[in-house]
Structures are given as structure tokens and as C-alpha cells.
């Protein structure tokens, strides 16, 4: 085989790789764009879709031109999105994973909170602290403390507890 044909094959493979990368890059960009959803689009093909979340990359993500929220409204938005983000973070901590749509929601939520924090500084930081405090009061305190302050080993031990409990439950069910 000549060196020329190797170059042609390499070029064809490189082009194919670029085409594939372009395909996925386009799929990651939302159809509805706003200031916080770059790279959080869904993708899929006939009969399936991965990562679609209306308020992140669908019609619900559209910005409303001509409406400016008040300071109070921005703080309520920060509270809403911080609650979404903390809930998803805690779920991932407990279970070790979550879906691609939940990943997109969490990224989007923290981006929204971050922009509000840039505008309202300490007031928005206080809201985020309140969200953590309120959310934490509703959780198993051992798990919550590990979520906030635990090392990798402690975090893994918490994740294993539900699996062990489910295993014991399964064993008990088969005994009946």
C-alpha cells in the first residue's frame, strides 16, 4: 500500500471524526437559547431523546423580553433554583448517579443562582444558605452531615447503606 493511500485514509477518518464531533456539538446546544443553557441541549433520533428538560433547553427556557424582575423576585428565583440544585446534588450523593436530564437541570440551576449572586451578592448568598439549612432539616441528619462534610470513604459508606438494606429486604421477601 502506498503512502498516498494511507494519507487519504487518515484524512477520511479525520473528516469522519470531525463530522461526528460536529453532530454531537450541535445536539448539545439547546434549540431555545438563553444566558445559562449553553451546552445543555438534548439530543436523540427517531423515537428517542436524551437530556430534554423543558425549563432548561425547551420552550420553557425562553427568556421574556420586556419583563424585568424585581429584587424580591430575583431572590425568589435564587431560592427556587438553589432548591432544585441542592435536591439534585443530594440525590446524586445518596445514589451515586442521576440521569442526563437531571445533570442538565443541576448545571442550569447553579448557573442561574450564580448570575443572581453576582447581582445581589450577600442577599443571594443568604438565600442559598437558607435553602441548605431548610433542606437539611428534612433529611436524615447522619446522611446530611456526611453530604456536607464527609470524606470520600464516609460518602461511599452512606451510598452502600440503602443497597445493603434493599438486599436484606429482598432476602426477607424470599423467605415469605
Q: Are 61 and 109 in contact (CB under 8 A)?
A: no
Q: Is 146 helix (H, G, I), strand (E, B) or coil?
A: helix
pLDDT at site 122? 97
**Where do the structural domains in the chain lie, given as residue ranges?**
3-139
pLDDT at site 82? 98
pLDDT at site 5? 47
pTM equals 0.75
pLDDT at site 2? 47
Q: Grid coordinates in use for 37?
A: 443553557
pLDDT at site 24? 52
Listed in sequence order, the residues at least 6 apart from 59 whose beta carbon sits closer than 8 Å to its beta carbon are 32
Q: Are 143 and 158 in contact (CB under 8 A)?
A: yes
Write down the H helix ranges in 97-151.
Answer: 100-120, 122-137, 141-149
Per-residue tens of pLDDT for the chain, all 176 residues: 444 445 544 556 666 556 555 555 555 678 788 999 998 988 887 888 888 899 999 999 999 999 999 999 999 999 999 999 999 999 999 888 878 889 999 999 999 999 999 999 999 999 999 999 999 999 999 999 999 999 999 998 988 887 777 776 555 555 55
Amino acid at each position: 500500500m502506498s503512502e498516498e493511500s494511507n494519507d487519504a485514509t487518515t484524512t477520511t477518518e479525520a473528516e469522519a471524526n470531525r463530522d461526528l464531533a460536529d453532530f454531537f456539538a450541535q445536539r448539545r446546544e439547546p434549540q431555545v437559547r438563553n444566558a445559562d443553557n449553553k451546552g445543555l441541549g438534548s439530543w436523540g433520533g427517531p423515537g428517542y431523546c436524551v437530556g430534554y428538560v423543558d425549563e432548561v433547553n425547551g420552550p420553557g427556557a425562553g427568556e421574556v423580553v420586556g419583563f424585568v424582575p424585581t429584587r424580591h423576585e430575583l431572590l425568589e428565583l435564587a431560592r427556587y433554583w438553589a432548591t432544585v440544585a441542592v435536591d439534585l446534588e443530594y440525590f446524586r450523593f445518596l445514589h451515586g448517579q442521576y440521569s442526563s436530564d437531571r445533570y442538565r437541570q443541576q448545571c442550569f440551576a447553579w448557573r442561574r443562582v450564580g448570575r443572581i449572586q453576582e447581582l445581589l451578592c450577600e442577599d443571594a448568598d443568604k438565600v442559598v444558605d437558607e435553602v441548605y439549612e431548610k433542606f437539611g432539616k428534612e433529611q436524615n441528619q447522619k446522611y446530611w452531615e456526611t453530604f456536607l462534610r464527609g470524606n470520600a470513604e464516609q460518602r461511599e459508606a452512606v451510598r452502600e447503606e440503602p443497597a445493603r438494606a434493599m438486599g436484606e429486604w429482598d432476602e426477607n421477601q424470599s423467605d415469605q
